[in-house]
Amino acid sequence: MEYKKMTWFFRGAIEVEEYATGKFGAPGEKRKKREKPTPELMEKRNQHRKEKLARRRLRKYFRKNDYLVDLTYRRDARPGNIKQAKEQFRIFLRQVRREYRKRGQELRWLRNIEVGTKGAWHIHLCINRIPETDLILADAWKHGKVYFQLMYERGEFRELAAYITKTPKTDPRLKESSYSASRNMPLPPPDEKTYRRWKPWEKVKIPDGYYVDMDSFKEGTNPFTGRKYRIYTLLLLRQTE
């Protein structure tokens, strides 16, 4: 069975996706019957795609010493709804972007507005760090406190991507959420290669200096297409930054 291999290269990580194309390279090879996707499967696929794009933007544009920020709300300053929270973030972002430009820097960000089941509001924000970022953000956010931590790289941003895109479906502590990211983070197309026959996992060659992040490994049959697939990430054994 012919398959396509797509590879994305990042600093310290390589993402690989392999999909059977539906063209058969040997007698007797058959494709599993295609199934009609359920709303639950569609929702799961959309969430997976959102996490994947967030993860790739984090890998390409951010470093472990950038900031993961919590913008909190005072009880008397909580917004009435998500629309109002978005407007408050837009005003905050306008001031932050202006201060970055004054310093000759470009602002990049990913954020998730979250409402807890008990009514508490906060915004998780991934932002590239420059000198005085902490002062800039603290001055721009008028609705509560700002908490900073250096961005972690556990799983080479895999866990952070899931964290910044979570929804009430993935975290029952949430009542509502809204994810967004800046538009100045384009992702390059993958390196694509086509092979005549599907290669079993035990014959896949791992590049020197890398290891397989087994938490990222998935292999099976796509319920939408009925074709084989395999997804995995390779991480660099030693990273300098």
Structure confidence at residue 56 (pLDDT) = 97
- Quote the CA–CA distance of 84 and 86 in Å, as a whole number: 5
Please report the pLDDT score of residue 37 as a whole number: 73
The reported pLDDT for the residue numbered 25 is 43
Predicted local distance difference test score (pLDDT) of residue 42:
84
DSSP code of 12?
A: T
Output the pLDDT for position 152.
Answer: 77
Q: How far apart are CA 29 and CA 22, in angstroms?
A: 10
For domain 65-151, the question of CATH label 3.30.379 is answered with: no
pLDDT at 178: 98
Residue 189 CA to residue 6 CA, distance in Å, equals 9
Phi-psi region of 155 (alpha: psi -120 to 50; beta: other; left: phi over 0): left
pLDDT the model gives residue 28:
46
Structure tokens that stand for 136 in this block:
């800039």
Q: At a CB cut-off of 8 Å and minimum separation 6, what does 8 contact? A: 14, 15, 16, 56, 187, 188, 190, 191
Tokens of 198: 């599907």
Return the pLDDT at 223.
77
Single-letter amino acid, residue 174: L
CA–CA gap between residue 122 and residue 116 (Å, rounded)? 9
Residue 125: what pLDDT?
Answer: 98
Distant-in-sequence, close-in-space partners of 91: CB < 8 Å, separation ≥ 6: none
Helix, strand, or coil (residue 201)? helix
Please tell me the distance from the alpha carbon of residue 137 to that of residue 147, in angstroms, as a whole number: 10
The pair of structure tokens assigned to 1 is: 């069975």
Angle 138-141-142 (CA atoms, 0-180°, nearest 5)?
115
Tell me the domain boundaries of the chain: 3-35+189-236, 65-151
DSSP string, 149-191: EEPP-TTTTHHHHHHHT--TTT-TTEEEEEEEE-S----PPPE
- pLDDT in single tens digits along all 241 residues of the chain: 799 999 999 998 999 999 998 764 444 445 555 667 788 888 888 999 999 999 999 999 999 899 999 999 999 999 999 999 999 999 999 999 999 999 999 999 999 999 999 999 999 999 999 999 999 999 999 999 999 999 876 667 999 999 999 999 999 999 999 999 999 999 999 999 999 999 899 999 999 999 999 999 999 998 777 889 999 999 998 755 5
Q: Are 57 and 181 in contact (CB under 8 A)?
A: yes
pTM: 0.89
- Residues facing 6 on adjacent strands: 17, 192
